[in-house]
Amino acid sequence: MKELKFVKNIPEILKIAAINLVMLLVFLELGSLGWYYVKHKQFFYTRQKPQDNSALGINLEGVRLNQSIVERFHPYFGFIQKPSSDFRPGFKVNNYGFISPYDYPFKKTKPNQFIIGVFGGSVASGYAIFEVQNQILAKYLKQLPGLQDKEFVILSFATGGYKQPQQLLILNYFLALGQELDMVVNIDGFNEVALANLNNQNKIDLAMPSVQHILPLTNLANNSLSVNAMKATIAIQENKDRINQALESLPNCQLAACDALTSVYIQNLVNNYRKDVIRFEKERGKTNEDDGGSAVFINTNKAVLKDEVAFEQMAWNWAKSSIFMNKVLSASRVPYFHVLQPNQYYQTKRVFSEAEKQIAFNKDTPYAKSVKLGYPALLKKFPNLKKNNVDVLNAVNVFDKTKDVVYVDSCCHYNQTGEVIFSNYIGRSILEKLRKEAPKSKK
């Protein structure tokens, strides 16, 4: 009898379940609509379709969607990015591997053009891209007599992973090719200690290009990547395929719930991608004891240098390279400005929110110790830089007064808010220095 009663109640149970399911979907859709509006400041059903991935509201920073290995050996620079015409709208990876609208050497097409060269690593590269798009430095320079009617052209000679003396060598190389420069901004410091310390741990000469970038290329050339590194590479590629597929489907979502769930799914894939990249970085940085058969020569050390010796040497490499950049530019009366970039692992008075701490800090990063020991060593070289007439800007405190999130990763890179603050600091500081030096130049 009980079974018969249960059978009779099945339609009612299914009806209640269906109603609950519909209510769940309705609430999920309503919640997703609110989430979408907060995130994009527009209503989902009347939204404008995004033109590119940057408008999707997903943090894809550091995800190389098109290629796994973009670096290529360069006989003078150490390594460059593989030239490509489809980097992003308005930019390409040019004929020398730099992200720019132009191929190099760039020749002036108008007499009023004012060329600013930007040197350094990935932070400098990001700054150059931001300046091309926003012309913040130009806004400040136009306040100076004689520069009001100039057309400012930003040329990036910066690439992720570059550290001194690569900037010095690249500057001299392009000057030898006849590249005109009216001003140079060199933004560095982090790579000089963080990546040079990885060189030291791998018994690679501190002044050699970053072991993170050179060693994998060397291992590929010698066919000597470890099994674990190859496994990480496969995982990275599989994740990238899934990310690309999901990114293609996201704009086609007809419901806000579909957009929300797909966005969460993509962000989870991106997080896994970054973990695999860290795993790959750890594996690919391991050197073979016997590299006698290597086709690429890299200067090595017999032993790992002690921290006090290593960071002092890093600081001198950094300072001397900048001094020589200034000397060669001063000979042609080209203003040179050297900026020590801010980094989250160098403690200042800045108070990080809990949300930013989750983004900006990683307890497993090899960079934290390097910055804590390396930045004080760099700051001690400021008197030497100033003694040699280098206009050096200490930007380590530029984010101290903002409560907004400014970092996009646990390495060193800034979001849109951070770029605005950083660019305004550089523009304002250069303007002040040029104004102070103007009376001297008239004498």
Q: Are residues 309 and 172 in the same domain?
A: yes
Distance CA(367)–CA(373), nearest Å, equals 10
Question: With 90 as the cut, is the pLDDT of residue 58 above it?
Answer: no
One domain for residues 197 and 314: yes
Confidence of residue 94 (pLDDT cuts 50, 70, 90): very high
Question: What are the C-alpha distances in Å from 330 to residues 205, 326, 333, 391?
Answer: 30, 6, 5, 11
Count of CB atoms situated within 10 Å of the CB of 233: 20
Confidence of residue 57 (pLDDT cuts 50, 70, 90): low
**In the listed set 255, 282, 300, which residue is the last one of a domain according to the structure?**
300
Q: What are phi and psi of 426, to 5 degrees?
A: -65, -45
Same domain, 160 and 95: yes
Whether residue 166 has pLDDT greater than 90 = yes
Same domain, 324 and 437: yes
* Residue where a domain stops, chosen among 284, 300, 316: 300
Q: Which residue has the higher pLDDT, 23 or 201?
A: 201
Helix axis angle for 367-379 and 190-201, nearest 10°, is 120
| Three-class SS state of 437 | helix
Task: Supply φ then ψ for residue 434, to 5 degrees.
Answer: -70, -35
Cα atoms found within 13 Å of the Cα of residue 190, Cβ hemisphere only: 23
Locate 71 and state its tokens: 């670096």
The pLDDT confidence band at residue 337, using thresholds 50, 70 and 90, is: very high
Q: Which two tokens stand for residue 341?
A: 């970039």
Number of domains the chain is built from: 3
Helix axis angle for 307-330 and 367-379, nearest 10°, is 60
pTM above 0.85, yes or no: no
Report how far residue 51's alpha carbon sits from residue 156's, in angstroms, rounded to the nearest whole number. 25
Output the domain CATH number for residue 426.
3.40.50.1110
For residue 280, what pLDDT is reported? 67
Indicate if 100 and 148 belong to the same structural domain. Answer: yes
Query: Looking at the structure, do residues 429 and 351 belong to the same domain, yes or no?
Result: yes
431 and 310 fall within a common domain: yes
The residues, ordered by sequence, that sit 6+ positions from 127 with a Cβ below 8 Å of its Cβ are 118, 120, 158, 185, 187, 419, 422, 423, 426
pLDDT average, residue stretch 6-27: 67
- 420-442 average pLDDT score: 87
DSSP 8-state code for residue 186: E
Where is the domain boundary, 281, 300, 319? 300
Q: What confidence tens digit (pLDDT) does each residue in 233-291 have?
A: 667 667 777 777 777 777 778 877 787 777 778 778 777 777 776 676 666 555 555 55
6 vs 248, residue with greater confidence: 248
Asked if the peptide bond before residue 216 counts as cis, ω within 30 degrees of 0, the response is no
Residues 271 and 249 in one domain: yes
At 203, list the tokens: 């018994």
Phi, psi for residue 335 in degrees, rounded to 5: -60, 135
- pLDDT score, position 52: 55
d(CA 298, CA 176): 25
State the burial class of residue 259 (Cβ atoms within 10 Å of its Cβ: 0-12, 13-18, 19+). buried
Within this chain, do residues 59 and 195 fall inside the same structural domain, yes or no? no
Give the gyration radius of the chain's Cα atoms: 26
Which amino acid, one-letter code, is at 133? Answer: Q
* Calpha distance 360→23 (Å, rounded): 39
Which band of pLDDT confidence, cut at 50, 70 and 90, is reported for residue 71? confident
Task: Residue count of the chain, please give it.
Answer: 443
Average pLDDT estimate for 356-361: 92
How far apart, in whole angstroms, are the C-alpha atoms of residue 39 and residue 41? 6
- 216 close to 236: Cβ distance less than 8 angstroms: no
Q: Largest Cα–Cα distance of the chain, in whole Å?
A: 111
Query: Of 150, 157, 156, 155, whose CA–CA distance to 114 is shortest?
Result: 150
CB atoms within 10 A of CB 101: 16
Residue type, 300: T
Q: Which residues contact 97 (CB under 8 A, 6 or more apart)?
A: 72, 74, 77, 80, 81, 82, 83, 159
Residues whose CB falls within 8 Å of the CB of residue 124, separated by 6 or more in sequence, listed in order:
118, 156, 158, 162, 185, 186, 187, 188, 341
Do 94 and 100 meet the contact criterion of CB atoms below 8 Å apart? yes
Domain residues for the domain of 143 are 83-203+301-442
Q: How far apart are CA 140 and CA 237, in angstroms?
A: 44
The residues, ordered by sequence, that sit 6+ positions from 361 with a Cβ below 8 Å of its Cβ are: 344, 345, 352, 368, 410
Nearest Cα residue to 241 out of 413, 434, 67: 67
Same domain, 315 and 325: yes
- Express each pLDDT in 33-55 by its tens digit: 676 677 667 776 767 666 555 55
Same domain, 239 and 166: no
Residue 179 and residue 59 in one domain: no
In this model, does residue 9 exceed pLDDT 70? no
Q: Smallest Cα–Cα separation from 161: which of 188, 180, 129, 127?
A: 188
